[in-house]
Copies of this chain bind each other. A is one copy, B any other.
Amino acid sequence: MRVDARKNYDRLLAVAGEVFADEGADASLRDIARKAGVGLGTLYRHFPTREALLETLLRASFEALAERAKVLESSDSADEALVAWMQETTEFTYRQRGIIALMMGAIEDTNSALHDSCVMLRAAGTALLTRAQAEGKARDDLSGAELFDLIAALAWLREQPSHAARADHLFTLIADAILTDSSGAHSGAGSEPGTTAPTETVPPPAG
């Protein structure tokens, strides 16, 4: 890549990261180009779709979430691992305002730039779910796709301002619904989003 192209590419990513953070995933691309001091054509040359831009920005985070699932797979408690990963994934996803709707569309659209990331994320969750099910800690009649749906629904809910105050409670309710009664989850230690996972496990998006 030519050095001037590289410079513009980097500038676009940096600015896009800020603008998306400020205004959500439906921010104006023209605005991003303008703030990057670059023509609109240049933006489209580097990132042919909005999703391509978002994918480049968020790929590292998606991969970190998948990696995190791998680590959690070797933890002691299969149910706590599952809930912790659900919590982290929900948290990350809802913070990228507007992205969960794109992801739900991308997961069955093989042409979408976000497709692979979504499939990877779903697979990572499925592995944790399957392990919990094998240990009798999670209900058997739940698929990885359904787990993904539940996380998406929770993330969408958190994007709604009117819901904010109740977010943790509903997360716990749904987490408990996934776990089997015998896993003793109702006491809450493994399913309180506010109290678990105080450490930063997913890096912020690049830029």
Q: Which residues of B contact A149 (CB under 8 A)?
A: 157, 160, 163, 166, 170
Q: From residue 174 to 188 of chain A, which have CB atoms closer than 8 A to chain B?
A: 174, 176-178, 181
- Oligomer: number of copies: 2
Q: From residue 111 to 141 of chain A, which have CB atoms closer than 8 A to chain B?
A: 141
Q: Which of B108, B146, B163, B176 contacts A166, CB < 8 Å?
A: B146
Q: From residue 63 to 97 of chain A, which have CB atoms closer than 8 A to chain B?
A: none
Answer yes or no: A40 CB below 8 A from chain B CBs: no
**A194 CA to B139 CA, complexed, in Å:** 21
**A162 CA to B181 CA, complexed, in Å:** 29
Answer yes or no: A154 CB below 8 A from chain B CBs: yes
Answer yes or no: A173 CB below 8 A from chain B CBs: yes
Q: Which residues of B contact A142 (CB under 8 A)?
A: 173
* A104 x B160 contact (CB < 8 A): yes
* A107 x B146 contact (CB < 8 A): no
**A104 CA to B161 CA, complexed, in Å:** 8
Answer yes or no: A27 CB below 8 A from chain B CBs: no
Cross-chain pairs A/B with CB under 8 angstroms, 20 sampled: A104-B163, A105-B160, A108-B161, A108-B162, A142-B173, A143-B166, A146-B169, A146-B173, A149-B157, A149-B160, A149-B163, A149-B166, A150-B170, A152-B160, A153-B153, A153-B156, A153-B157, A156-B156, A174-B174, A174-B177
